[in-house]
Amino acid sequence: MKFNASRYTEMEYRRCGLSGLKLPAISLGLWHNFGDVDDEKVYRKTLHSAFDAGITHFDLANNYGPPPGSAETNFGKILHTDFKQHRDELIISTKAGYTMWDGPYGDWGSKKYLVSSLDQSLKRMKLEYVDIFYHHRPDPDTPLEETMTALDLIVRQGKALYVGLSNYRKEEAAKAFKILKKLGTPCLIHQPKYSMFERWVEDGLLDLLEKDGVGCIPFSPLAQGMLTNKYLKGIPKNSRAAKKHGFLQKEQITAARLEQVQQLNALAVKRGQTLAQMALAWLLKDPRVTSVLVGASSSTQLLDSVGCLKNSTFNKEELSRIARILKEQ
């Protein structure tokens, strides 16, 4: 398999916190569009386009599909056929934290769950190790020490190179970072939901990440497709909001949201880019953001998103216009 030889000069790579690892400014997530319900031809092409564009980071989780687990199986299959020679050029992440199997050991944050889940993920992807293993969401009942010790153990066992946390709020993240540092396995990265429409991380989490030298990779940076031109004329048939298994609910696409999207879209057009590109560039303007973790149901979408790097700066007027639009909710 031949890939674009200049891919590494075309992509921008950013250091992940204070670690030795660099990530591409755009990473690809496999939450939707890579399950057994999806078209293999389409997602194989998306993976090829991603790698050709210099995207080296692919993000998975035990439960991605549907059915749960199928995104890892499908990704593993393509990895071992098409990307066989390139494993050392890839950063593959997976996670555990949401419901994966029945009974008391298939969910949340016990050592039992995390260790068995990663073993299952490695089998599905036919890998000896993943590059990053995340705890997917905080567990209010398991002692934080147990969850963090499990992450440390997994690294010591060689099943993951780095660990990350996802969906942890500022206070619990701070405690977890402390424990991990003490154990000798510092947290590499935090994966929060962050977009123009979801800005809780600006309330202290980003400051904490900077202080503790932890990278940040926002998920759903396009608000699952709302921050694109996709829903401007209604809900298209093949969109996430129209799909039964899609996580975006039709009710989330309100008239007020659409009004904001219209206005943001007009500004993006003025800047000579698509709304998706502007929404991603807006996140990447903050140096604390290591990479934006996009989803894509086609290679065309993904390449459009990658195009954000061609115009990623904002002048003062543009920033205050965006701030005004986002306030009107």
Q: Which spans of this chain sit near ligand NDP (rule: CB under 6 A)?
A: 29-33, 59, 136, 166-167, 191, 219-225, 228, 230, 239-240, 276, 293-297, 301, 304-305
Q: Closest separation between CB of residue 286 and ligand NDP, Å?
A: 17
Furthest CA-CA distance within the chain: 54
Rounded to 5 degrees, what are φ and ψ at 166?
-130, 145
> Which one, 132 or 322, has the nearer CB to ligand NDP?
132
Toward ligand NDP, which CB reaches closer, 156 or 195? 195
Q: Which is it for strands 160-166 and 187-191: parallel, antiparallel or unpaired?
A: parallel
Residue 323: CB minimum distance to ligand NDP, A = 21
Distance CA 143, CA 122 (A): 26
The closest alpha carbon to 122, from 94, 150, 153, 163, belongs to 94
**Both tokens of residue 29?**
């997530």
Burial 264-287 (b: 16+ CB within 10 A, else e): bbebbeebebbbbbbbbbbbbeee
For the CB of residue 62, give the shortest distance to ligand NDP in the complex, in Å. Answer: 12
Give the C-alpha separation, 232 to 226, whole Å. Answer: 9
Q: Which is nearer to ligand NDP, 32 or 159 (CB)?
A: 32
Instruction: Give the strand pairing for 22-24 and 13-15.
Output: antiparallel
Torsion of CA 232, 200, 215, 316, to 10 degrees: 60
CB nearer to ligand NDP: give 182 or 200. Answer: 200
For ligand NDP, the closer of residues 222 and 322 by Cβ is 222
Question: C-beta of 101: minimal distance to ligand NDP in Å?
Answer: 18
Residue type, 86: H
The least distance separating ligand NDP from the CB of residue 2, rounded to whole angstroms, comes to: 26
* Nearest distance in Å: CB 156, ligand NDP: 24
Nearer of residues 142 and 291 to ligand NDP, judged by Cβ: 291
